[in-house]
Amino acid sequence: MKHQLYFPPRRAEQNLWLAQFREQFPAVAVRLEFTQEEIDSILRDLGWLLWVRRDLRAALEGGAKAATAYERALCGPQGGPAAAPPTVVLPVPPEIPPVPPGALKRIFQFIQRIKNRPGYDIPTGKMLGIEDNHYRSSSPVPTFRLRVERGEKGEVVIIKYSRQGRKAVYVETRRGGGDWEPLVLGPLTTSIHTDKRPLLNPGQPEVREYRMRFWHDSQPGGDWTDISSATVSP
């Protein structure tokens, strides 16, 4: 899916953008004479996106950290009191019908319709957050997307990234609750990389996490991107 200049590069900022758009969208849509059915459809997409990207992921990431700490305690030295296993409390899903895949793409397509609507102007776009450019040459972090494909010896992860005008990026990865480690020794200088590493446990799926930052002056530096993950199967 093509990056939209108004959609921020970091997950936390993206979630704030989605929340702002959801808050401002209904009144603007009515003024631009969209039907109630169209408005309700986009609001459902926004509701489920925010729930899974913000609420559900926060609960799962907190649970994963607690599970990692508990595992390390069980695998560590003996002694000390017994520790109770962590619990994961999942947020209540939205009380609206589920939506089909492609919610974010549908929102982007609808935004293009908004911009083509008679009566649309720049102040309206500013209020919705759809007139900004978050991908200038001064972007603080790279951007990247993950896609899992079937390779010759199992699934691989295709990493498509943008260097935002910089010379190179640096990528770290972790899996199985382990520590972060370089994906490759040194920088990446193109726009695509394929992670062909074998599974840690052959025959068992694993979740691979990735993060990225710029490479300059012969070393990595600057802020990290948000973490993205992909599940790789045999």
Beta-sheet strands, E only, within the chain: 143-151, 154-162, 168-175, 181-182, 192-195, 206-216, 219-220, 228-232
* CB distance 178 to 72 below 8 Å: no
Please give the span between the terminal C-alpha atoms of the chain, in angstroms, as a whole number: 26
- Over residues 211-230, the pLDDT tens digits come to 999 998 889 988 999 999 99
Architecture of the structural domain at 143-232: Sandwich (2.60)
The confidence score (pLDDT) of residue 1 equals: 55
Beta-sheet strands, E only, within 96-186: 143-151, 154-162, 168-175, 181-182
Burial of residue 155 (number of CB atoms within 10 Å: 0-12, 13-18, 19+): middle
- Over residues 173-213, the pLDDT tens digits come to 999 878 999 999 999 999 999 999 999 988 889 999 999 99
Percent of the chain with pLDDT over 90: 61
Residue spans in the chain of domains classed CATH 2.60.40.10: 143-232
- Over residues 30-63, the pLDDT tens digits come to 999 999 999 999 999 999 999 999 999 988 888 8
pTM above 0.75, yes or no: no
